Amino acid sequence: MDHWTVSSVTPRLGDLPGISDEVRGRLQDAGWTDVFRLARAPTAELAYRARITPAAAQAARQAARLSTLRGIGTRHAAALIAGGIASVEALAQADPDSVWRVAHHRARPTPAEVRVWIWAAQRAAGGPVKHTSDPP
């Protein structure tokens, strides 16, 4: 079963992709060191408390949301962002084969893990969960 094939990862702020060292430092100074908490925080609150632009806060939140999604972590999130999949919503709409080609640089992720990522992204984005193995 695909949903048991995901590796466990714990994302760290220091490894969060897609943000500058300055933004990372401001987030840390403001107490936003837990990436899971960062992913749940409103963008406006991040911007205000860390004294960063709304765009920088949005980028940090998007990267945190992607990194904390089931089994992705910061390394795979960096590959996804570099490949043009910079948000949970973009991942939710992506084709599994395309995502695998973007993120597969080592033994992981497997195609099954990528399908789990997409299902998790669809749930997180509030959209329908499409099972690629289901008949049309």
Whether this prediction's pTM lies above 0.75 is answered by yes
Contact, 13 vs 38, CB < 8 A?
A: yes
Q: Where are the domains of the chain?
A: 2-125
Kindly report, residue by residue over 15-59, the tens digit of the pLDDT: 999 999 999 999 999 999 999 999 999 999 999 999 999 999 999
Kindly report, residue by residue over 79-107, the tens digit of the pLDDT: 999 999 999 999 999 999 999 999 887 77
Per-residue burial over 85-121, b if 16 or more Cβ lie within 10 Å, else e, is bbbbbbbbebebeebbebbbeeebbeebbbbbbbbbb
